[in-house]
């Protein structure tokens, strides 16, 4: 890596940036000082632990360890996505199914096309990117679904009274929720390169890789995330909306 020199001293000195956040939080009486400190401490601990684990997994180049690491990533993503749908029952299974399928299908296509290889240094970061974006999309779907069912419950009841099935009565809400889940990824795709230089592209350029090669990888990532978030959003919404109805097809909020 060219000109990459982050030693312990420079890392410690960069803590000044955290102090800036703490200063503004204290000055404006935002009440987030504790959250900032906890967040920083957790981030440092988690990243160091993951770093050493990844070093071992990548060094061993073992298929079972690679799959185990991917399983941990996907399971954690599903658990965090489930929290966004507070009040909706049985969301962990739905979230896990959506993330497993979005990750599996996307990685399957990338491996089959030769874009990536099934080796830990590629599988683990890629599955992490896919799972995290799917997690965010699913969480947005759940939050939008909860809010919209509350706002439009009268419309849904009227459709049910006129003989509509639960799916037909919920279709507008389903479409809005899927669009909400996919919107951040679509907006990111529209502005990539013009407004921001995304993580993978920036990281590769920072590490000294030819910018043209970095761009090709970022294009692949853009395609990958669009696919993953669309699969995750559709699957999570089409399973989750049923939880708003009881066995008699009555709306339950």
Q: Where are the domains of the chain?
A: 1-60, 63-244
* Residues 98-140: tens digit of each pLDDT: 999 999 999 999 999 988 899 988 899 899 999 999 999 999 9
**Average pLDDT of 80-93?**
89
Q: At what angle do helices 91-113 and 120-151 cross, to 10 degrees?
A: 140
pTM of the model: 0.83
Summarised one tens digit per residue, pLDDT across range 148-163 is 999 998 999 999 899 8
Residues 6 or more apart from 94 whose CB is under 8 A from it?
Answer: 235, 236, 239, 240
């Amino acid at each position: 890596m060219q000109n990459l020199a982050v030693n312990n001293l420079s890392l410690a000195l960069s803590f000044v940036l955290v102090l800036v956040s703490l200063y503004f939080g204290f000055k404006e009486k935002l009440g987030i000082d504790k959250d900032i400190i906890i967040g920083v401490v957790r981030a440092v601990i988690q990243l160091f632990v993951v770093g050493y684990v990844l070093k071992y997994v990548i060094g061993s180049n073992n298929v079972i360890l690679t799959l185990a690491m991917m399983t941990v990533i996907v399971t954690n993503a599903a658990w965090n996505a489930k929290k966004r749908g507070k009040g909706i029952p049985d969301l962990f299974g739905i979230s896990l199914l959506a993330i497993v399928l979005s990750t599996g299908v996307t990685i399957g296509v990338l491996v089959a096309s030769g874009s990536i290889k099934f080796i830990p240094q590629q599988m683990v970061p890629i599955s992490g990117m896919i799972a995290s974006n799917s997690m965010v999309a699913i969480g947005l779907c759940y939050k939008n679904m909860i809010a919209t069912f509350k706002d439009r419950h009268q419309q849904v009841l009227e459709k049910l009274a006129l003989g509509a099935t639960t799916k037909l009565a919920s279709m507008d809400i389903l479409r809005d929720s899927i669009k909400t889940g996919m919107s951040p990824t679509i907006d990111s795709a529209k502005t990539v390169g013009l407004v921001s230089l995304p993580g993978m592209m920036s990281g590769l350029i920072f590490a000294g890789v030819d910018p043209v090669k970095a761009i090709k990888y970022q294009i692949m990532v853009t395609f990958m995330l669009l696919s993953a978030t669309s699969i995750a959003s559709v699957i999570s919404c089409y399973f989750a909306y049923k939880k708003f109805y009881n066995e008699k097809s009555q709306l339950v909020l």
